[in-house]
């Protein structure tokens, strides 16, 4: 029997090690594995590829974050994914590489996680968190070089807090998310200013 409250580091190791490395791990398989564990674990899994970018699939996981967090924002009790997305897959070896890279940091982080300042399930706090995560997911969809890491870290920390019912960790994730959004706004603002100045100089010529 698998423990209901399996630590995320243990869960990642188990999923990564099951089966042959060349096997394809479908989102349907992941959804079946994670569906009864709440939004926290699923959102954390979706954030992984953006923490360690894999060409061609990071934006897809951004879509999954928006869809999943949107349901959390609407107060759904269990995550749901469209069948078309469930047919997509990733090489188990790629998933294992992601898991192996982030697991040491997760294990260190888990030592300090414990139930405190618990977020009320389906309450206003979780709906607001869902809205924040939707915004971060939309940022991940944009093709901005270097803009994926900080939002993904914010999502991962919030998700860990939800998994462990640790409101302090959730608040840390919200702070990290605010920093990520501030950096995103600064990048967009700088880019917009640079483009505006470029066209102004063209007109001056």
Per-residue pLDDT, 176: 94
Per-residue pLDDT, 164: 81
> pLDDT tens digits for the chain (205 residues)?
344 467 778 878 888 787 666 688 877 777 776 655 678 888 988 888 887 766 556 677 888 899 999 999 998 877 777 777 777 787 888 888 888 888 888 888 788 787 777 655 457 788 889 999 999 999 888 766 667 888 999 999 998 888 887 888 899 999 999 999 998 888 888 878 788 877 777 776 7
Per-residue pLDDT, 57: 66
Per-residue pLDDT, 2: 41
**How far apart, in whole angstroms, are the C-alpha atoms of residue 139 and residue 180?**
10
Per-residue pLDDT, 55: 58
**How far apart, in whole angstroms, are the C-alpha atoms of residue 47 and residue 116?**
24
**How far apart, in whole angstroms, are the C-alpha atoms of residue 190 and residue 117?**
38
**How far apart, in whole angstroms, are the C-alpha atoms of residue 134 and residue 68?**
8
**How far apart, in whole angstroms, are the C-alpha atoms of residue 50 and residue 145?**
12
Per-residue pLDDT, 1: 34
């Amino acid at each position: 029997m698998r423990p209901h409250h399996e630590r995320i580091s243990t869960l990642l190791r188990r999923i990564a090690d099951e089966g042959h490395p060349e096997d394809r791990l479908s989102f349907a398989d992941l959804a079946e594995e994670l569906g009864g564990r709440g939004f926290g674990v699923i959102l954390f899994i979706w954030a992984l590829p953006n923490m360690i970018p894999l060409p061609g699939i990071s934006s897809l996981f951004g879509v999954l974050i928006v869809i999943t967090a949107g349901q959390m924002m609407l107060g759904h009790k269990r995550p749901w994914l469209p069948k078309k997305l469930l047919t997509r897959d990733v090489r188990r070896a790629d998933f294992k590489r992601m898991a192996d890279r982030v697991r040491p940091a997760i294990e260190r982080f888990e030592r300090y996680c414990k139930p405190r300042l618990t977020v009320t399930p389906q309450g206003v706090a979780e709906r607001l968190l869902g809205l924040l995560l939707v915004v971060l997911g939309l940022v991940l969809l944009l093709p901005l070089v270097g803009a994926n890491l900080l939002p993904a870290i914010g999502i991962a920390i919030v998700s860990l807090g939800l998994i462990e019912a640790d409101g302090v960790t959730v608040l840390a994730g919200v702070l990290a998310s605010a920093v990520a959004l501030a950096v995103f706004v600064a990048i967009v603002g700088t880019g917009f200013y640079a483009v505006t100045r470029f066209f102004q100089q063209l007109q001056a010529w």
